[in-house]
Amino acid sequence: MANQLEKLRKENNLLDKQLSKENNTIMMDMVCYLRSSDLCDYDIEIIRKELTGMALEAQLRNEKFSDAVGDDYKALCDELMKNGRQKTLNEKALEILYVLVFGVGTLYLVEILFSSTIINIVKFGQFTMPITSGFLVSTFIAVVMAFSVYNYFTKNSFELSNHNRKTQIKFIIAFTVVWTAVLLIRVFMENTVLWSVNCLYPAAFLALAFVLIKRLEDRHANNLLKFNR
């Protein structure tokens, strides 16, 4: 069964296209900020649909969105986050696993394609891949950085949208420092081989894990949608 949550997202995306540029920016900031909370994805999309509807109605009346909901959008989001259904432990675990498997899988594929492994596969038919300490440490840091960047952007969506220079500078400095550290780790620890594996086995495991987690997420989303109808 197709993921009903994805269908709801597509419906909301179509509604967004009817918004004015100003209201679309406001809606993006609000939805982004809502994603920093523990609200379940289904409730976020329902809230998004309701807010978009209110914004469209305001447009028809030639009014500002703030005339309908007030001008403190962040406070409104905080209230919605406080009263909405929170993610269960299982939902949080599935979400984290999904991001982890996708992130590690992507970095693993990049490691294969941009290392001597791909050359050995094409020229010699050898699928052996060295696992270095540099790869493991840099992958760990990259995944942590991805989570941190996501949390930073969602929690500070309004400040970033308003071009808060102090917030932007903090992000740029932190990102530059961490990314430089990742590159240095790859350079200085690249020759420390911990073990070698057939690159197909981890790839197959990550692919199967991704499919399994995605199906579990889809099934949960569909069940949640049926329950809330």
Burial class (CB in 10 A: 0-12, 13-18, 19+), 141: middle
Residue 1 pLDDT class (50, 70, 90 cuts): very low
- Main-chain phi, psi angles of 65, to 5 degrees: -60, -35
- Looking at residues 131-154, what average pLDDT do you find? 89
Q: What tens digit of pLDDT does each residue of 42-101 get?
A: 889 999 999 999 999 999 999 999 999 999 999 999 999 998 888 888 888 988 999 999
Domain range 4-83, its CATH number among 3.90.660, 2.30.30, 2.40.350, 1.10.1900: 1.10.1900
Read off the pTM: 0.82
- Looking at residues 157-169, what average pLDDT do you find? 77
Q: Is the pLDDT of residue 2 over 60?
A: no
Would you kindly state where each structural domain of the chain is located, as residue ranges? 4-83, 89-228
Alpha carbon separation from 122 to 32, 43, 56, 125, 207 (Å, rounded): 43, 48, 55, 6, 22
- Which amino acid does the sequence have at 118? I
- Residue that is written with structure tokens 């009014």 in the block: 63
Mean pLDDT value across the chain: 88
